[in-house]
Amino acid sequence: MGAFARLARLSPKALRLYDETNLLPPVRVDPDTGYRWYSPDQLDRARRVVQLRRIEMPLPRIRTVLDLPPEAAAAEVRAYWEEQEREWRAKQELAGFFLDRLAGKETPMYDVSVREMPARTLLVASEQLTADRIGEFAAPLFAFFGGPAVPRPPGDAGRPFLRYHGEIGNDSDGLVEFCCPIDGDVSFPEMTLSADAAGREAYVTVAKANMMTALGAESLHRWLTGHDVRADWKPRQIFLRDPGQAGLDDPVFELAVRLR
């Protein structure tokens, strides 16, 4: 184990962790002493683990990458790195926004529009989620309910959306609802029917390059304050297209709040 750790540039503590998570188990464990034995054939996998940890990829995702064929593994790493770049841009924008406020500067905001929405019936699935689990929860729902399988009202009124009931992050969860407007008598197991009253909503359109930033929410806050208007502040994230298929400048979602 010690020799393998030195060759792989890993600490014995890291090797024990990778064994416990089944990421890099030893080829043999001594039943009497518990001593771990590794094979030189495992060095390539170990070095890949080291490289992926250096870009802060989580261990479960590393295991996924290492078990994929080369082309699929490359696509997964590329997707992960694009996520990291979006998160970095979001942090950079947030820091810039904070510094501008301290310096008394105005930060450019999104244009806010207002529209009337009709009364609708919604199919709703809800779950307590942290921010890093939203994609896992929402992606299959958008893929199915955003297609032709479910009859929906025409136009903007028929777009499925996520509704947030509080601030959430990677370390704090909150209630997130997936809502699909329906047209007609439709029901699905484990989803509830909910009435969505007619009303006005203010919204901004967010491009893929800015989808991880807080500028959309801040723009709505500023607009509400400037126009002395109140909202329920249960933001609705209405996706316009699959982010994975969009260019950086393409609009990906609308962020909307219902006005009172």
Tokens of 21: 């998570």
Phi and psi based region of residue 184 (left: phi greater than 0; alpha: psi -120 to 50; beta: remaining)? left
> pLDDT tens, 9-23?
888 888 888 888 888
- Write down the pLDDT at residue 170: 66
- Residue 72 is inside which H or E element, if any? helix 70-102
Q: Categorize the per-residue pLDDT at 199 as very low, low, confident or very high, splitting at 50, 70 and 90.
A: very high
Q: Is the pLDDT of residue 203 over 90?
A: yes
Q: Is the pLDDT of residue 73 over 90?
A: yes
Q: Which residue has the higher pLDDT, 139 or 163?
A: 163
- Write down the pLDDT at residue 107: 65
- Write down the pLDDT at residue 128: 92
CA 67 to CA 214: how far, in whole Å? 35
Tokens of 60: 């479960």
Mean of per-residue pLDDT scores for the chain:
87
117 with 156: CB under 8 angstroms? yes
Give the residue among 114, 7, 15 at the shortest CA–CA distance from 59. Answer: 15
Q: Which residue has the higher pLDDT, 78 or 83?
A: 78
Rounded to two decimals, the pTM is 0.66
> pLDDT tens, 104-137?
776 667 899 999 999 999 999 999 988 878 888 9
- Write down the pLDDT at residue 109: 76
65 with 49: CB under 8 angstroms? no
User: What is the mean predicted confidence (pLDDT) over 140-163?
Assistant: 92
- Write down the pLDDT at residue 108: 62
CA 196 to CA 120: how far, in whole Å? 5
- Write down the pLDDT at residue 75: 92
- What is the percent of the chain where pLDDT is above 70? 95
The sheet with strand 120-129 has its strands ordered as: 113-117, 199-207, 251-258, 236-239, 161-164, 174-182, 120-129, 192-196
Q: Is the pLDDT of residue 86 over 90?
A: no
Tokens of 6: 């030195």
CA 5 to CA 46: how far, in whole Å? 9
Q: Is the pLDDT of residue 41 over 70?
A: yes
- Write down the pLDDT at residue 243: 79
Q: Is the pLDDT of residue 248 over 70?
A: yes
Q: Is the pLDDT of residue 162 over 90?
A: yes
- Write down the pLDDT at residue 30: 83
